[in-house]
Amino acid sequence: MAAHTVRVRRPWGVVPTGLLLLGALYCLFPVCWVLIAATKSPGELFTTSTLAFGTGFFDNVAELFAYRDGVFWLWAGNTLLYAGGGALLSTAVSAVSGYALAKYRFPGRNLIFNLLIGGILVPSVVLAIPQYLLFSKIGLADSHWAVLLPQILHPYGIYLARVYATAAIPDSMLEAGRIDGASEGRLMTRVALPMMVPGMVTIFLFQFVAIWNNFLLPFIMLGDDGKFPLTVGLYTLLAAGANQPALYNLILTGAFLSLIPLIVLFLTMQRYWKTDLSSGAVK
Amino acid sequence: MRANRLGAALAVVLTVTLASCASGEPADGTGAAQSPTAAGSGPVKLTYWTWAPNMDKIVAVWNQAHPDIQVTVSKQAGGDDAAAKFLTAAKAGNPPELVQAEYQHLPSFIAADAVADLKAETAPVKGEFTEGLWGLVTLGTNAVYGIPQDSGPMMLFYREDLFDKYGIEVPKTWQEYAEAARTVRKKDPKVFLGTFSSKDPGAFTGLAQQAGAQWWSISGESWKVNVADEPTRKVADYWGALVKEGVIDDMPYFTPEWNKALNDGTLLTWPSAVWAPGVLSSNAPKAKGKWAVAPLPQWNAGESHSGFWGGSSTAVSAKTPHKAAAVQFATWLNTDPQAIGLLVKEAAIYPAATKAQSSLGQAPDYFANQADFWQQAAAVSAGARGFTFGPNVGVTYNAFKDGFDQALRDGTPFSQAVQGMQDATVADMRKSGFQLAS
């Protein structure tokens, strides 16, 4: 009987691992494909086997950096500005709003929160064109602000911050602070926000990745190619007109290079994330 | 592939939203991009949206010579998305002063009142272009909505070495082309003479133009739509029969497997436009020197017709207060010998101006084996006929893709897909409020 149960359980125990491995393969395969394709010279790209490494990686990189006098770096800088700046501002706004919504009772609190929940359900893609028309009206279209501002208020980030603040900051702690005579501002900056850091890291990563990958908003908002982020910039290489050879090798190399900062960010931030989560668990 | 789907989705999002707010948005024309104008105070500043490569270098030459009219190039992504983006910007009131407009998208710009009529300003340069090309920027009306920049007359590109190997003559008529397709299959069942792409409405449009199709026309205030006319059905049925017989492949152009076939010699011809060397040199670098060009096969022996696949014009935004300066620049860019020389050299375009076409010298590097490449192109260009495009080409093209995809999948007749294009086009124009003549 015992042998029987063991035999039945074993295969089931493998299933979750197997599913996860499949999931990992599903997620990592495209990345590997980009990596391999980025190493191929134009001549190898369509002629060699899909999974065989090519010999042109460094030529591709050099060619990409030389393309239009190094416009790649300008686009990379723009992306960093949009993603880094946008994610920082968005995290700050989300943390403060989430904290206020979690810990203060004021008229209209539930209304605001419900509106935010509703906001989560509206895909940002749908808002891009109305936002463009609005920004045109106030004269901000085709400026850096046109891409930054719409990303700062992020309903999902506020929602996360509120949930996190509710769970992570005990009311008794704030009470103790008030009894000791701390002002509300001091309570927030010295007591509440430090406890919310793991949540804020999550929000920052979410927003950073979302803005890094965002295509439609900058595509519509920006006319000046000097303000393009990488996504829109690389797209101009792809759709360069029918009479042009599409610069596939540069696009692939550009796509691959633009992945690296995201990978680095995740690996470094992840450590930060884990320590805080586990230190909370021990307490 | 991904980019195509993304592009299609984009175009849908943009057009849907545009349509839904078409009436609600007062266009006040005081866009942020435009500098305040005061006569005589500083140079006029113009923005130019284009996707032609190295256009900034060409414009630098203009800027140097014209300190009072300074043009800034904003390099955009080309294709259908570029048109949607320009329409959105025009609707929001801050379009660029100058825009590269593909011939098939120009009517949608006109329908949205986004581009200016340049009739008076362009009268002196009308003679620089063939009637067929000029018709693409007038739509057969009295107005002129752009200055032709480049053109894409269609020719037959073929693997010269493999034609010799299989003992095939270059087909002069489409009947001979069909015969050659059968011969090839008999000699080597792995090889196809050609393929019919259900993803490239532009190519099909060019072939229909060659056969004499007239999909749209304007009479007075109303449009006439005749996508399923006799020449178009003839072209569709011709390819449909060959695909059904199994002698012509059905893989789409610009896909990895198509690139591979171009390289390894399992695809022998590509009826394409004059810009094909650019595509071939990047997608089939290994076959360099093995391809050659000939005029398209004809429907009747002895004719010399062709159609257009691609090509674009320079249009001027309707809202700009700097129309005169913008037209001056656009005229220079597309008719001045120096400018055209730069367009050919730096942007690798096939110029629309007739004189420039005949003065092209050295064959493209990829076609080094064919010294008379440009002479052939100029001869074909002279016999190329286009037609008036309608205001909703995007809808027609999408119907092409849906219809022909389905026809290939289910083996239904191609003429049915053509009828689907006609029905979708008419339905959409009715919905958008265009007057249709029956």
Would you state the torsion angle of the CA atoms of residues B432, B434, B435, B436, taken in this order, to the nearest 10 degrees?
-80
Do the domain assignments include residue B342?
yes
User: Does B159 lie in the same domain as B99?
Assistant: no
Q: For chain B, which residues score pLDDT lower than 50?
A: 1-39
Q: Are residues B267 and B208 in the same domain?
A: yes
pLDDT computed for residue B12 by the predictor: 46
Q: What is the pLDDT of residues A208-266, one digit of tens each?
A: 999 999 999 999 999 999 999 999 999 988 887 665 666 788 999 999 999 999 999 88
For residue B358, give the amino acid letter: S
Report the C-alpha gap between B64 and A268 in whole angstroms: 50
Optimal mutation site among B48, B71, B76, B280, interface A, most CBs of chain A within 10 A: B76
Looking at residue B5, its pLDDT comes to: 46
Question: What is the H or E stretch that residue A250 is in?
Answer: helix A248-282
CB-based burial label for B361 (10 Å; 0-12, 13-18, 19+): exposed
* Beta-bridge partners for B157: B270, B293
Closest Cβ–Cβ partner in A43, A223, A241 for B52: A241
B365, B139 contact by CB (below 8 A): no
Q: Is B4 on the interface with A (CB under 8 A)?
A: no
C-alpha span between A127 and A123 (Å, rounded): 7
Element (H, E) at B216: strand B216-219
Please tell me the predicted confidence (pLDDT) of residue B231.
Answer: 96
Q: Which domain holds residue B206?
A: 153-307+392-431
Domain match, B268 and B372 both: no
- Position A269 scores a pLDDT of 82
Domain match, B256 and B210 both: yes
Task: Identify whether the C-beta of residue A41 lies closer than 8 Å to the C-beta of residue A249.
Answer: yes
Res A52: pLDDT: 86
Instruction: Check: CB of residue B216 under 8 Å from CB of residue B388.
Output: yes
> Is the CB of A136 inside 8 Å of chain B's CB atoms?
yes
Average pLDDT over chain A, rounded to whole?
Answer: 87
Report d(CA B90, CA B112) in Å as an integer: 9
- Which residue's structure tokens are 């591709």? A60
Asked if B282's CB is within 8 angstroms of A247's CB, the reply is: yes
On whether both B296 and B402 belong to a single domain, the answer is yes
ipTM: 0.81
* CATH code, domain carrying B371: 3.40.190.10
Tell whether B105 and B228 lie within a shared domain. no
At a CB cut-off of 8 Å and minimum separation 6, what does B185 contact? B191, B192, B193, B246, B247
Q: Which amino acid is at B110?
A: I
Tell me: pLDDT of A8 over 90. no
Element (H, E) at B269: strand B269-273
Q: Residue B49 is nearest to which of A216, A223, A241, comparing CB atoms?
A: A223
User: Angle at Cα A50 formed by Cα A44 and Cα A54, nearest 5°?
Assistant: 40
Residue B108 lies in a domain: yes
Q: How confident is residue A97, by pLDDT bands cut at 50, 70 and 90?
A: very high
Taking residues A108-113, what's their average pLDDT? 92
B171 and B278 assigned to the same domain: yes
Domains in chain A and their CATH numbers?
69-277 (1.10.3720.10)
Return residues 139-168 of B near A (CB < 8 Å): 150, 152
Are B113 and B162 within one domain?
no
pLDDT at A5 over 70: no
Q: Examine the domain organization and report whether B72 and B101 are in the same domain.
A: yes
Which of A108, A105, A93 is CA-nearest to residue A174?
Answer: A105
A129/B14 Cβ within 8 A: yes
Token code pair at residue B272? 């394409």
Does any domain span residue B37? yes
**What is the number of domains present in chain B?**
2
Does B255 lie at the interface with A, CB-CB under 8 angstroms? Answer: no
Give yes or no: residues B215 and B235 share one domain: yes
Residue B332 lies in a domain: yes
Write down the pLDDT at residue A243. Answer: 58
- The structure tokens listed for B427 are 């339905």
| CB contact at 8 A, B352 and B129 | yes
Q: Per-residue DSSP letters for A60-123? A: HHHHHHHTTTTHHHHHHHHHHIIIIIHHHHHHHHHHHHHHHHHH---TTHHHHHHHHHHHHHS-
Beta-carbon separation of A241 and B89 below 8 A: no
CA distance B240 to B234: 10
Same domain as B88, residue B59: yes
DSSP-derived 3-state class of residue A19: helix
Residue ending a domain, among B341, B364, B382, is B382
Which residues, listed in sequence order, are joined to residue B384 by a DSSP beta bridge? B306
Specify if B271 maps to a domain: yes
Is residue B173 located within the same domain as residue B226? yes
**Res. A53: pLDDT tops 50:** yes
Q: Where are the alpha helices (DSSP H) in B212-284?
A: 230-245, 256-264, 276-283
Query: Has residue B10 been placed in a domain?
Result: no
A191 DSSP 8-state letter? I
**How far is residue B141 from each of residues A58, B144, B187, B220, B235, measured CA to CA in Å?**
54, 8, 52, 9, 28
Residue B282: predicted pLDDT: 80
Burial pattern B367-392, b for ≥16 Cβ within 10 A else e, equals beebeebbebbbbbbebbbbbbbbbb
Where are any strands of DSSP class E within B36-164?
44-50, 69-75, 98-102, 147-159
A179-192 residues labelled b (16+ CB within 10 A) or e (exposed) = eeebeeeebbeeeb
pLDDT value for A244: 64
Residue B248 belongs to some domain of the structure: yes
pLDDT top residue among A5 and B54:
B54
Residue B285 placed within a domain: yes
